Chains A and B, each alone.
Chain A
């Protein structure tokens, strides 16, 4: 489905991505793991067209998206749930959802139907539909950010560290939601630092370090890898 090849990307002169290749299979959860500053967010930005790639390619179902600007990429079916959520703080929950559907050019009725669907999935958002997004709790904001991403009806959802800064109980809930969405057929590319949680949901792993992919494999292979276990899963597992 999503196929990234030899992606090189930079801010100014400094190359941050030095040839990233990865695949995200249809209907699967693909996880990109890596330490701070490795280039995870940069990878998502380049796929989403927010940063333009210096070289390499991004293909979605065979269509080349590499040179497209962000609005076109969104309308081709790639939605981003950004790091730190970035909801629109002084717009209410419902307006945030509408903003998520901006690129679709859907009719008012279609949008209303999608919002109703999302409210069924996220009852906590419905209870707060007229509240400013900035007044929601961190967990609710994350749910809103996910729901807003889904409003674009993406073919693949890019999620940037959805668990960051949330209490363990809320993290569990977010991961449950991710799993449910996936069970309903949503393809997900998940960026995480919480490898332990990611292991509970993802089907395929990539490890990015210093702007390069240094490992790729199944959850089982990830757990087998001695180095990764020590660095990302903690050494306690025997």
Chain B
């Protein structure tokens, strides 16, 4: 029983970083009804830029953090300009494929920057751990959870209580009606990309600073975890992304404990598969058929 609770706690802590990745996918999906496959790769490129400075100039960890964030946002804007702005709105498949192509391109760029397989990533969080009754809390993971909770809280405020948040939600609901209200939908979409890149950059930095290393698989890994968490929680739903991320973390923690490390990823895929069969919209998924779909047909 104690193990079970401990695993659940560990899962929630690590799952909070999945939640941030899932938020990145879900907000872009909300605004564009598209999946941005290059999301993980843009975080990876940002993190590689930070690592490059760290490796060659031994810069302070705060500089690494800042570089990671700035370069992730720039990469996100690049992806938006190239795959989503340049390609027409109704060509959904084309922009999905092109985001895959950009994924490869960003990864190439990162590997050119740092050709070795593994690099050390500077640690940032308080190491060590503290005990609360029979349970053990690791310092890095607790910090990650707090960081994620702050980000989600800030996003909630942004979306619910600011003019930009109103515009972003209006565009997610109906880009046409939003345009009739005088909302510059193209600008809102670009800002959405910059925003989720920032969130993804924070998540990526937190994960890497916990692992204290970075490999060329990080982009793939981040895209997978974020996508799975989003699908579990429900596409286009912010609470869904948080729930999906936490759920994925918990499932992985339990699978790792009871079945062994090699079943960790497998259990996540099985869970996703079961979800897609039983409840394709995800736990809190929104329907995008019916009236909404009609609204998209013209213009």
- Per-residue B-contact encoding for A139-174, CB less than 8 Å = 1, 0 else: 000000000100010000000000000000000000
Number of chain B interface residues as a range? 20 to 34
List residues of chain B with CB within 8 A of the CB of A134. 291
* Given known A-B contacts A86-B176, A86-B177, A90-B286, A99 and B184 have beta carbons under 8 A apart: no
**A95 is contacted by which of B166, B174, B178 (Cβ under 8 Å)?**
B166
List residues of chain B with CB within 8 A of the CB of A75. 182
Q: For chain B residues 126-146, which have a beta carbon within 8 Å of chain A?
A: none
**B57 at the binding interface (Cβ < 8 Å):** no
**B34 at the binding interface (Cβ < 8 Å):** no
Most chain A beta-carbon contacts within 10 A, residue among B177, B181, B291, B295: B181
**B33 at the binding interface (Cβ < 8 Å):** no
- Per-residue A-contact encoding for B166-196, CB less than 8 Å = 1, 0 else: 1101100110111111111000000000000
Q: Find out whether the CB atom of A89 lies under 8 angstroms from the CB atom of B181.
A: no
Q: Find out whether the CB atom of B182 lies under 8 angstroms from the CB atom of A89.
A: no
Q: For chain A residues 40-81, which have a beta carbon within 8 Å of chain B?
A: 48, 50, 69-75, 80
| Contacts between the two chains (Cβ within 8 Å), count | 67
**A211 at the binding interface (Cβ < 8 Å):** no
Q: Find out whether the CB atom of B174 lies under 8 angstroms from the CB atom of A88.
A: yes
List residues of chain A with CB within 8 A of the CB of B91. none
* Given known A-B contacts A86-B295, A88-B170, A90-B173, A99 and B178 have beta carbons under 8 A apart: yes
Most chain B beta-carbon contacts within 10 A, residue among A48, A75, A84, A99: A99
* Given known A-B contacts A86-B174, A88-B173, A90-B286, A102 and B179 have beta carbons under 8 A apart: no
List residues of chain B with CB within 8 A of the CB of A98. 166
Q: Find out whether the CB atom of B299 lies under 8 angstroms from the CB atom of A99.
A: no
* Chain B residue at minimum C-beta to C-beta distance from A104: B182
Docked complex Cα distance between A98 and B183 (Å): 12
**B169 is contacted by which of A80, A87, A91, A103 (Cβ under 8 Å)?**
A91
Docked complex Cα distance between A107 and B249 (Å): 43
* Chain A residue at minimum C-beta to C-beta distance from B178: A99
List residues of chain A with CB within 8 A of the CB of B184. 69, 71
* Given known A-B contacts A86-B174, A86-B295, A90-B286, A50 and B179 have beta carbons under 8 A apart: yes
**B292 at the binding interface (Cβ < 8 Å):** yes
**A34 at the binding interface (Cβ < 8 Å):** no
Docked complex Cα distance between A89 and B166 (Å): 14
Docked complex Cα distance between A168 and B88 (Å): 41
Q: Find out whether the CB atom of B170 lies under 8 angstroms from the CB atom of A71.
A: no
* Chain B residue at minimum C-beta to C-beta distance from A48: B180
- Per-residue A-contact encoding for B144-180, CB less than 8 Å = 1, 0 else: 0000000000000000000100110110011011111
**A39 at the binding interface (Cβ < 8 Å):** no
Q: Find out whether the CB atom of A95 lies under 8 angstroms from the CB atom of B182.
A: no
Q: Find out whether the CB atom of A50 lies under 8 angstroms from the CB atom of B181.
A: no
* Chain A residue at minimum C-beta to C-beta distance from B170: A99
User: Would you give the shortest CB distance from B179 to chain A, in whole angstroms?
Assistant: 5
* Given known A-B contacts A50-B299, A102-B163, A88 and B169 have beta carbons under 8 A apart: yes
Q: Find out whether the CB atom of B177 lies under 8 angstroms from the CB atom of A74.
A: no
List residues of chain A with CB within 8 A of the CB of B174. 86, 88-89
List residues of chain A with CB within 8 A of the CB of B176. 82, 86
**B183 is contacted by which of A80, A84, A102, A148 (Cβ under 8 Å)?**
A102
List residues of chain B with CB within 8 A of the CB of A90. 173, 286
7 other contacts beyond A50-B180, A71-B183, with CB at 8 A cut-off? A82-B177, A86-B176, A88-B173, A89-B174, A95-B169, A99-B167, A103-B183
List 28 A–B pairs whose Cβ atoms lie within 8 Å, in order of A's numbering. Answer: A50-B180, A69-B184, A70-B179, A70-B180, A70-B182, A74-B180, A75-B182, A82-B180, A86-B174, A86-B177, A86-B180, A86-B295, A87-B177, A88-B169, A89-B173, A89-B291, A89-B292, A90-B173, A90-B286, A95-B169, A98-B166, A99-B166, A99-B178, A99-B181, A100-B181, A102-B166, A102-B170, A103-B183
